[in-house]
Structures are given as C-alpha cells and as structure tokens.
Copies of this chain bind each other. A is one copy, B any other.
C-alpha cells in the first residue's frame, strides 16, 4: 500500500504546541476581559444556508466563500466572518434574549483568499458586541474593553484612535460633497500610502471636488490630538449642522467618561481620518495601534452601526462592537518578545528514575497537581540524562528527582531546571509544594 502524503491545504495551518500555547493564552485573556464586562459567549454553526451568507457580503467576500451542496442538496457555505452569523442569530433569538444583549464570539472563519497576499484561508475572529441600545455608555464601554484587554495582554504603550462618522458626514455636507462621500472616503483611505498629491488628484477626478474642496478635506483629515483641541477645531466647520453637533457632543462625552473611568488620556486620540469601511458604520469608529509597532496596522477595531440585521428582520437593531486581530497581535507580541516559548503546559517534571517506583512517582505527581501545579511523569525508565534532556527541550521549570537513596531517606530532590540548583526536601506533599512554589515564583 502506498503512503498518503501528510500535508495541509495551501493557506491552512497546523498549530504545534509552541504556537498554540501563546494562542490559547491570548484567547483566554480576551475571554476573561470580555466576561469581566458582562459579555456572554455564544456560538453559531460553521455552516450556514448560502443565502444567509451571501445576503450582506460584498462581491469580494461572495467570491471567497467556501460553498457547496450538502447531502440534502441544500446550498451551504462556511462562515467568512462572525458579523453575518451574529445578525442572523440576533434576528432569530433577540425576542428570547432581550436587549441590551452583550455577546462575545471567538471562532474560526474561512475565506478562499489569494494567499500571495500573506493571508490565511482559515483564521480565528474574536468579536464582542452590544446590541439593542444606542446609548453612549455602550460606546464608552467598547473603548474601556479595548483598553483593559491590551493592558491585560501586557501592552503598556498603545493608542486607541477614535472618530465619529457623524462628524465626517457633517464636514462633507458643509463642503457640499455629501453625495460623493463614498468616493471621498475611498480616496482619503489611501492617504498614508499614496501621499497628499495623488489623493488630491483623486478627490478632484473621482469625487468631483474642486481644488478648494480637496484642500479643505485634506486639511481637515490632518486634525489630530487631544479631545478638546481637535473638537474645538472641528466645531466651527460644522456649526450649523445638527447631526454634526450631536456627533461632536457625543464624542466629547465619550472622551470625558473614558478618562474619568481611569484610561490615561494619551492612550485615546481623536483621528478624524478614520472611517473603517464605507457603509456599515454610522457613529463611533475606532482602531488601535501599538506605539512600538505602528506599521503592523490596527490590532483592535470596531464601531457603531444603526441596523445590524435588516436582511433578516424588520426589527431595528443598533449596536456597537469590536474585534481583536489575533494573528496580528501574536506576531506583534513575538516581535516585541512578549511571548515566553514553551512546549509544555505543566511546570514540573518527574523522571521515572526507578521503574519499580512508578506508583510512588504517580502519587507524588497527584499531590503536586492537587496543589494546582501541573506535573508530568516521564513514562519510560530511560537514563536520567535522557529524561532531563526531554524536560529541557519541552521547557519544564522544575524537576522532582528521587532514586533508591532518596526513597530510603524519605526525601526528594527539587531541581530548578533554569539555574540547575537542587534542594533536598522531605518527601511530604507540604514540603515539596512549598519548595516548588519557591522555585517557580
């Protein structure tokens, strides 16, 4: 029989323990922070009716959909994000759930993307949303979640860039460019890459702006800084626009509340150029960058929308949500050396020094585990050096070594595998755990 080649599909990845352990840790942190604000977990099927998935997606996501016919001849597809399933889910269950409804959803999605762009075809999303309220308190909370989340992961220097689509729209109205907003935003989006002159040209050509209008937009898009500073500069530009005034007021209220809730002012900046896509968001929008690695782009983004599920229900469901960019965060953490690599989840290693003592080693391990410390017993009575080599490769932090002499004296060696130091202690759960706590601390 010829062998089948063991391989994964292009754009798909195996996660070995060394990659999976920090991944699980990051996901755990996200869950813990989401939960601390009262967001509750949900899950939805990976497979949905095709019509549910293609309803809202763009042409691009439609093209990337993994779609097929199931055993019953139904047209089905693999979800390509968690927002469309949330909309379907909310339309179906919101009566039972009630509002406001706060959920998080951490799950895999699939897109048949062009892998040449360094994208994967299977990746995990990590979303939180508050549905069924237009309250500014929910907007504020989204910013607090992002702040707590990045702090909990271990970041200190990051910036949350916020904007309100209402301000942007009011400025465009004032400039007489409300009807060209899509073309204007598309052009502005290229500013950091294409540069001022090219964007100015595009604004004139594609969006039909005059030279004056284009300059005004570009000047506006450069506004940055602290809350009062930027908002005071914007105010005169939209002074006669009621919606714009409301957006300004809401933004000011949000910024002050975020500050009084304890977020350092320098972490939250107003950036009027942020739009985040062209159609979906209607109020607050935000992106987050790492001050030490701004080039990797936003690692946590989101915004407020007026109507989540209009394709599936007549009930209007406004909401606010955000999403953590897991893969980007992990590569950033790697680059910033924030990841402690290890191939084991347990800290303590017990070599099987004397095969006839297996029961004793197992009993000792059980006692260490009962104290909340992970502990692995090597299964084979190989030479001690070999076993310790394995422990070293895997990244264990301490070893409990006991041979005939130790057992005879009712003792055990506690070895710090980092420093190589050993201490001999009495073979009791209390003494062993106490010394392990010292070594592992």
Residues of A within 8 A of B (CB): 3-10, 12-17, 20-21, 23-24, 31, 34-49, 51-52, 55, 64, 66-72, 74, 76, 78, 88-89, 91-93, 96-98, 100, 102-103, 108, 110, 112, 122, 130, 133, 135, 137-138, 140-141, 144, 148, 256-257, 260-262, 309, 311-314, 343-346, 349, 352, 358-360, 362-363, 365-366, 369, 373-380, 390, 393-394
B14 near A93: Cβ-Cβ < 8 Å: yes
Q: Is B17 touching A148 in the complex (CB atoms < 8 A)?
A: no
In the A-B complex, the 10 residue pairs with the smallest Cβ-Cβ separation, listed nearest first, are A38-B376, A68-B68, A17-B40, A260-B359, A35-B345, A12-B45, A38-B346, A137-B379, A261-B362, A135-B379
**How far is the CB of A21 from the nearest CB of chain B, in Å?**
6
B residues near A4, Cβ cutoff 8 Å: 51-52, 55, 311-312
Residue among A45, A133, A140, A344 with max Cβ neighbours from chain B (10 Å): A45
With both chains docked as a complex, state the minimum distance between the C-beta of A374 and any C-beta of chain B, in angstroms. Answer: 5
Chain B residues with Cβ below 8 Å from A393 are 98
Known A-B contacts A70-B66, A260-B362, A369-B148; the reply to A92 vs B7 at CB < 8 A is yes
What separation, in Å, do the CA atoms of A257 and B112 have in the docked complex?
51
Q: Is the CB of A97 within 8 A of B42?
A: no
Which of A49, A112, A133, A261 gathers most chain B CB within 10 Å?
Answer: A261
Question: Does B35 contact A16, Cβ atoms closer than 8 Å?
Answer: no
Tell me the number of copies of this protein: 2
Given A47-B9, A369-B148, A20 and B40 contact (CB-CB distance below 8 Å) = yes
Cβ-defined contact, A36 with B98, below 8 A: no
Minimum Cβ distance to chain B for residue A237 (Å): 28
Distance in Å: Cβ of A263 to nearest Cβ of chain B: 9
Residues of chain B within 8 A of A122, CB atoms compared:
45-47
User: Which chain B residue shows the least CB distance to A56?
Assistant: B4
A131 nearest CB across to chain B (Å): 11
A439 to B: closest C-beta gap in Å: 17
- Tell me the smallest distance from the CB of A378 to a CB of chain B, in Å: 8
Taking CB atoms, residues of chain B closer than 8 Å to A38 are 344-346, 349, 374-376, 394
Give the residues in chain B near A71, CB-CB below 8 Å.
64, 66, 112
Nearest B residue to A102 via CB reads B376
Which of A144, A262, A380: most chain B CB closer than 10 A? Answer: A380
Q: How far is the CA of A14 from the CA of B257 in the complex (A)?
A: 36
What is the chain B residue whose CB lies nearest that of A314?
B3
- Bound complex: CA A346 to CA B51 (Å): 36
Given A4-B51, A47-B9, A344-B38: A96 and B140 interface contact (C-beta under 8 Å): no
Complex Cα spacing A420 to B166, Å: 43
Contact in complex: B9, A45 (CB < 8 Å): yes
Please state if B346 and A35 are interface contacts (CB–CB under 8 Å).
yes
Chain B residues within 8 Å of A37, by CB: 346, 369, 374-376
For A120, the closest partner residue in chain B by CB is: B45
Identify A257's interface contact among B41, B42, B362, CB under 8 A: B362
A390 to B102, CA, bound (A): 12
In the complex the two chains form, what is the Cα distance from A309 to B6 in whole Å?
A: 10
Residues of B with C-beta under 8 A to A359: 256-257, 260-261
| 6 further A-B pairs in the complex, CB-CB below 8 A; given A6-B313, A36-B373, A133-B379 | A4-B311, A14-B43, A20-B43, A40-B344, A71-B112, A100-B379
Q: How far is the CB of A15 from chain B (nearest CB, A)?
A: 4
**B residues less than 8 Å from A69 (CB atoms):** 68
Given contacts A141-B379, A260-B363, contact A45 B13 (CB under 8 A): yes
Known: A374-B38, A376-B37. A363 touches B6 (CB 8 A): no
Measured between beta carbons, the chain B residues less than 8 angstroms from A13 are 45
Provide a sorted-by-A list of 23 A–B residue pairs whose CB atoms are within 8 angstroms.
A4-B52, A5-B312, A6-B88, A7-B92, A8-B92, A12-B47, A14-B89, A14-B93, A15-B41, A15-B44, A16-B93, A17-B97, A35-B345, A38-B345, A38-B376, A45-B122, A47-B122, A64-B71, A66-B70, A97-B343, A137-B358, A140-B362, A257-B362
Roughly how many angstroms separate A346 CA and B141 CA in the complex, as a whole number?
Answer: 14
Which residues of B lie under 8 Å from residue A68 when comparing CB positions?
Answer: 66-69
